[in-house]
A = this chain, B = another copy of it.
Amino acid sequence: MKIPFEPNFKKGGGLITAVVQDIHSNEVIMLAYMNEEAYQKTLETGEAHYYSRSKQRLWHKGETSGHIQKIHSIRLDCDSDALLLKVEQIGDIACHEGYHSCFFRELKNGIVSYCFKQLKHPTLIYKK
């Protein structure tokens, strides 16, 4: 029997949430959104494409920084309204602030700390 694998874009008004996990570190490195075009481009190219809500356009992750994400696999959740992308993160940096993961601040036992080091200063990532 064919296993259904149909992301539901309608539920979120055309967008689906995509959680991004690094296949080497197993860290959750990013959260982004895809419209149907971004999802199809991702399948076609094997590189993560998202829909930028701020720029309101298709966004090829890494197009400026070079920090592209090579797709290892894509998972779909039980109610088909969220994706989990397992990726190889080129440059090891997913965050525009130069960290491996966008989730670099951590609250644990009442104490807030940085749980990642800044690998590169943003001005060096986005130099003209």
A residues adjacent to B (C-beta < 8 A)? 2-5, 17, 19, 21, 26, 28, 30-31, 72-79, 82, 84, 95-97, 99, 102-108, 112-115
Contact = CB atoms under 8 A, between A and B. Distances in A.
Contacts of A72: 108
* Oligomer copy total: 2
Contacts of A82: 31, 102-103
A114 B115 CA distance: 32
Given A73-B107, A75-B105, 5 more contacts: A3-B112, A28-B84, A73-B108, A74-B106, A82-B102
B28 A112 contact: no
Contact of A77 (B3, B26, B102): B102
